[in-house]
Structure 1
């Protein structure tokens, strides 16, 4: 069936003979040109993402932003999530890599990782149909390099009707298409860390009507945090070729991505003080800004694969993304109509690896707590000291700590998708008014084939990528662990989470819009209906019905079943749980814009969209493991309502956009959280949320000086909670009142100098609203010098003041032991570069 769906979409595209829609490209064939060197947002040219037709922002009833490639170069990061942090209204939780990220918009909730309500696109089509596939964030399969021309973001507005599963907004990463002949080669290297990178891009015309662009990057090195090995390794190549005609164009494009990066997840930090006024600091001998739980001495683990055969998981693979995609897009004018179609097939796979220190205790106590009681001792199980006892636990690594870990491996053997978007538009003249009508049909097929493996190792907490596996030895001399493994499964609660998913999501969505423009007044409305079909099977002991989660397995083939091997996670392959259900929901948006004067306009809009549930609802109690149906129809999608009103001003080097917004949603989900002791827990949630606030975006340009500003003030709350009434009225976790961005800079022919500044006020670590999570201001200066024509020297300093900036804190209260898990941003990181243009 999946093959037939893909085949029918390709055939339909061929029969239409109107290749794909270029609403978000940047070619000259009716496509907006890239933003200039310091033409920061708000953009002066037409905005085309998530709307029917590109218009000047002052004529559009939307709140939107753009960033161009030259601006991104100055942010001191290539992380997709950190790029999103530079857009007002978007909250991106990331520690500098894209494997473990969480992204949301306008106060909508973050239940776990991913981007549930915000869709991330590449060249106008979604990277993944669902942004919150567990451990498979959309940002993990997207990279920014010199082939990127522009990033466009729409918040709310018509995003819910011009794309599926995007009720909060859309961010679109747009590639260069060879409009300008010439190329760029950039070599960069860490000055205070080991990471080298080469980027290139080249575009040219093959004839008056044919042009191409090719670009990509390769990088390798340990990275800004100590791992003890090359944690970054890989790159991508992107290519497109465009043929223009008198009435349109055709474009073919392809991408090959194979890249791995470390998982900068939660690590132990010291927490003292009170919940209202906590004090956070690095542990002795372990700085979360520069150290990780990754280690040269922990290269692999044994486990069972999806066929229940022993295999070895490569821990050093980290978070790996592999993408092979090919696409076709075109646009033609025929008899007054503009027909467009875009099609892409993407073969996506990869892995997610994380070592989470679930419980961190003094090295003298942990062996007793997880071993055979008093008298249990510890010894190294990996590295050069393998077999040696830990002589003085109190001085181990300067902090005297051991961690009962949770190792997570998610194998994405298949996240393939095929998407097709066809639309037709026409502008009608009605006296002195213009009426623009658009009709479209979107179809997609998204596979989710992945397996989770959870293991329970014991490790020390060492700096410099030197952590070891640690064995616990009972008083009688018998081993409690097996080469540092307490269990070859998860044994922290009733569920093992050793699960395998083999499901397919098919979406069919007709949509349409109409816009009436008379003078300075524009009135618009759009409508979409999403039909969805979910089929397949899931496997795991969590399905119940006598299915076992663990079994005894001689993983290391030594002829003996160790205590750890007696609890090995396995899959009940003979008893899958069927998945077979449909869903459907309507989305609509209505708005009005009035251009009061050439430099000033006002707008208002109300929208209702939806987000279909992905794999997070595919185990009991959400799924009936006998019928494949969801146990509650409300689980099928989460509705989002939004209202916004705004004003826009632009004149003589000054742009000022202000938007007030209100948003609400309901969410039935599972949340990875932490209790008051810092232990990781999985909580079922059934909630309603609301948020209101104001977004501000400004650009001031005075000769060589410019200042780009952005700020978002948000008041969000939990309106209802069927599982926990004490949460009602609380602020959702990690939601600050204020987030802001600023980029002051001075530019001349010889050099550019400035800084990218990101900040946020404090928030709550968990929904219980007890422990405060501190805010931060990250200052990242940059310098670009052009000593001769076509050569540019660059220096970027990320987090120049070495701020200990917290992304999330994994505890609901100050823990009694004074140690909590936290995800933090990178410390001071200096990178130098040289760019050659030709």
Structure 2
């Protein structure tokens, strides 16, 4: 595809600083640019009873606006969140495989267990860590986005369900600023084109609308050999204002696919304490991927009804959302009543290739059951050709055995309604604000996943091919590159969940403010009902999950076809249990002077368990009940306190925090040999630390700074007592952000800087995972009033930055799997305003 070469900014991303806007009747409206934040008293509305100036509230919060996200050089949701203080986001530049947490809360698995991600005030998904269906997969940023608000800890526990760590809310433009924008972007050193648009206007004095979206297509920043990115979204809303309130109707259609930049192999030398990571010959982990290839396009398998099917690997991770919502605010007898309701149809597909072993081609046949055998290309331009035993194919001589993870996301449909009313009372010399609300939600988890074991070469440029293992007698041990239609000949991890979660929560708060002092408390009670069916041989009870199937329909049962993983459809397991828990939060804020305030808060919240509780000893598939009631939810206790200072040209927030929680989970890790292993988690954790946010402005110069220092530990571990006292995996002591910028009417130039110190690859605290600093400069030029040319250079120094490492120690092979950030990618764009 031809590149639309426009000039763009060299990449910098802003780091999120608090925003404060004047209170409006429509409290969720985005309030101006965060660059103007210190000059305005702006209100924060996410996770609180009523929008207030942050210096008058006992919370820790930050805001990013759309123009600042543009400077990050990436549109990945997880990387946007990584620009917010306190949030740790693991991603390789796409949103199907992410892991996100906050303030040292454990990141034992993928998704965002303790942090809720919202769109326009309601959760995108009720649970952020559903297998193969991370919330980030069903959300995108474009020009229709007004701002992102994030609250850490605090009242997040009581103003939303399943959000004890915090809430991040992506808020859409609503047409209150008339006019439109069209932006065309293209990679200058990679093939990815994108068109964004947004338009808002008034139809009358009381009616306004906004419509926006994007479409993109191209290979992407890593070589895939085909257009691995393709799709987009359209969002629309219309608002009717009237005396005392408004009504808003909004809708979204999203259909987008992107590759899965999962773990790839790296060379590892040195020691566990001082490791040296380097690319393998012929394969650059910053620009290559093994989850996408022009020569590995399909896999034969069975579907959830045990019928034959073909998996399209080039579909990558596909996300489909159709949602319709209604929001209204009314003044009734002195009360301000707000109701938000939304129905979302969510489905998609997940594909990941996870290497389990990297073996030299010369010894691969012996290692995999064919001593004296050979290897032969099964696909690609060399299909049918035998691989020379002495040849160093692709410059590295390696052949991979891997798990191909495919998940069909049948339905993550959800219905959510949040009704609340607030009233301000004059009490004595102060004001008492009372709020009462009721939350109700229904979340489907209808998910089927199927693993197979394949063989392929480690080739760059999207040229990896499937390989067959041939025995010494000429018999094919594999079939079209597949060793097993399952997990190494077992029936494990071939499952279907058909579940529904009902969540109900009454909640309320009181806040009394007199002069400089404000004292508040809030309470919420969540209760839920879980029901549905489960299918899988690893539910036990005599269920059979392996059978012979002629997968390729050639009339012969080959070795891999002799044991195909299937679902025991006549023996479903049951899910049928209830749960309930209380959350509370109390805080105090004291405005020492106009520019300074002090605050303190203590909170207790929880996160209800999603489908990961099943297929484990915790759940009884015969009765549907939990064998351990404590597994129904994970309580989180938090304390925080700090100082906030703001005056023209200088903003500084400093917050100390402490948190503790328990987690019952499953995580994919590795043993000391580097072999992939599924690890059972039953732990208690604690974390303490300090967050610092700052903004300095003088004339055309500005500097945003953010840093989070965290000390976290495993306090108890029922499954592995040797882990007690260790630091949780991937938890650095320090994460930081900075954005220096010089801005005039003609141009803006600056850089976004993100960094992290080292951490441990696994909970055993043996192998170090190195820290990194990513520098992404940007340039924006405004030659005329309505035209902006931009240039972004993400990771301009081409740093090999490791997000996660799959080994617990240096393996004997000297090769490890790791997920990495993208290398240097330069993007140009032109934006027209009208």
User: What does the per-residue CA deviation read over 1:354-388, in whole Å, with 9 as the maximum and x for residues that have no partner?
Assistant: 01111111111122111322x11101000111110
Whole-angstrom distance in 2 between the partners of 1:503 and 1:225: 36
Cα deviation digits, residues 282-339 of structure 1 (max 9, x gap): 0000000000001100111011101110000110000110000000000011221001
Distance 1:618 1:42, change over 3 A: farther
Aligned match of 1:38: 35
Partner of residue 212, structure 1: 209
The answer to whether 1:452 aligns with 2:449 is yes
Residue 396 (structure 1) aligned to one of 386, 393, 396: 393
Structure 1 match to 2:374: 377
Per-residue deviation, residues 388-423 of structure 1 (Å, max 9, x unmatched): 000245410000000011000011010000000000
Q: TM-score, normalised by structure 1?
A: 0.96
Q: Out of 801-810 and 29-38, give the one that drifted further.
A: 29-38
C-alpha distance in structure 2 between counterparts of 1:103 and 1:802, whole Å: 24
The corresponding residue for 1:6 is: none
User: In structure 1, how many angstroms separate the alpha carbons of the residues matched to 2:523 and 2:491?
Assistant: 42
1:649-683 per-position Cα deviation (integer Å, ceiling 9, x unaligned): 00121000000000000111111111112111111
Equivalent residue, structure 2, for 1:426: 423
Residue 55 of structure 1, aligned match among 52, 55, 61 = 52
Q: State the SS of the aligned residue for 1:139.
A: helix
Q: Which whole-Å CA distance do the structure 2 matches of 1:480 and 1:141 have between them?
A: 40
Partner of 2:759: 763
Q: State the TM-score, normalized to the length of structure 2.
A: 0.96
1:329 corresponds, among 327, 330, 333, to 327
Distance 1:350 1:254, change over 3 A: same
Is 1:40–1:67's contact at 8 Å kept on the other side of the alignment? no
Say if 1:29 and 1:244, in contact at 8 Å, map to a contact too.
no
SS in 2 for 1:38: helix
| 1:3 aligned partner | none
1:94 CA drift (Å): 0.4
Which runs of structure 2 are paired with 1:370-769 in the superposition (5 Å)?
A: 370-373=368-371, 375-491=372-488, 496-769=492-765
The alpha carbon displacement at 1:620 in A equals: 3.0
Deviation at 1:549, TM superposition (A): 2.0
Q: Deviations over 1:517-549 (max 9, x none)?
A: 010100000000001000000000010011122
The verdict on how the C-alpha distance between 1:666 and 1:41 changes in structure 2, with shifts beyond 3 A counting, is farther
Mapped to 1, the partners of 2:203 and 2:422 lie a distance apart of: 31
Q: Deviations over 1:781-828 (max 9, x none)?
A: 000001112000000000000000000000000111110000000000
Q: Does the 8 A contact of 2:21 with 2:40 survive in 1?
A: no
User: Structure 1: 5+ residue runs without aligned partners?
Assistant: 1-22
What is the aligned counterpart of 2:278 among 243, 257, 281?
A: 281
**Alpha-carbon contact 2:112-2:128 (below 8 Å) kept:** yes
Question: What secondary structure, in the 3-state scheme, does the structure 2 residue paired with 1:161 have?
Answer: helix
User: How far has the Cα of 1:29 moved from its partner?
Assistant: 3.3
Worse overlay, 318-327 or 551-560: 551-560
| Cα shift at 1:44 | 4.0
CA RMSD of the aligned region, Å? 1.4
Q: Counterparts of 1:186 and 1:696 in 2: how far apart (Å)?
A: 34
Cα-to-partner distance string for 1:532-585 (whole Å, 9 max, x where unaligned) = 000000000010011122211111111111111112111000000011000001
Aligned to 1:12: none
Alpha-carbon offset, residue 42 of structure 1 = 11
Q: Is the 8 A contact 1:408 1:454 kept in 2?
A: yes
Contact persistence 2:22–2:42 (CA under 8 A): no
Provide the rounded CA distance (Å) in 2 between the counterparts of 1:559 and 1:181.
66
Paired position in structure 2 for 1:17:
none
1:102 partnered with 2:84: no
Instruction: Give how far 1:38 is off.
Output: 2.3
2: CA distance, partners of 1:321 / 1:226? 21
> SS of the counterpart of 1:635?
helix
Partners of 1:303 and 1:827 lie apart in 2 by: 34
Q: Secondary structure at the match of 1:87?
A: coil
Distance 1:306 1:695 in 2: 47
What is the aligned partner in structure 2 of residue 813 from structure 1? 809
Q: C-alpha displacement at 1:79, in angstroms? A: 0.3
| Match in the other structure for 1:11 | none
- Supply the distance in 1 between the matched residues of 2:260 and 2:684 (Cα, whole angstroms): 32
**Cα deviation code 1:572-612 (max 9, x no counterpart):** 00000011000001000000000000000000000000000
Decide whether the 8 Å contact of 1:662 with 1:692 is kept in 2. yes
TM-superposition CA deviations, 1:126-146 (whole Å, max 9, x none): 000000001110000000000
8 A contact 2:728–2:763 mirrored in 1: yes
> Which range moved further: 26-35 or 459-468?
26-35
User: Which residue is equivalent to 1:13?
Assistant: none
Match of 2:159 in 1: 162
Alignment partners' CA distance in 2, 1:816 and 1:548: 37
- Equivalent residue for 1:14? none
Give CA deviations for 1:705-740 in whole Å, capped at 9, x if unaligned: 111110000000000001111100000000000000
CA contact (8 A) 1:25 1:175 kept: no
- Do residues 772 (structure 1) and 771 (structure 2) align? no
Query: C-alpha separation between the residues in 1 aligned to 2:163 and 2:264?
Result: 32
* CA deviation after TM superposition for structure 1 residue 32, in Å: 4.7
CA distance in 1 between partners of 2:23 and 2:791 (Å): 28
Q: Distance in 2 between matches of 1:592 and 1:37?
A: 26
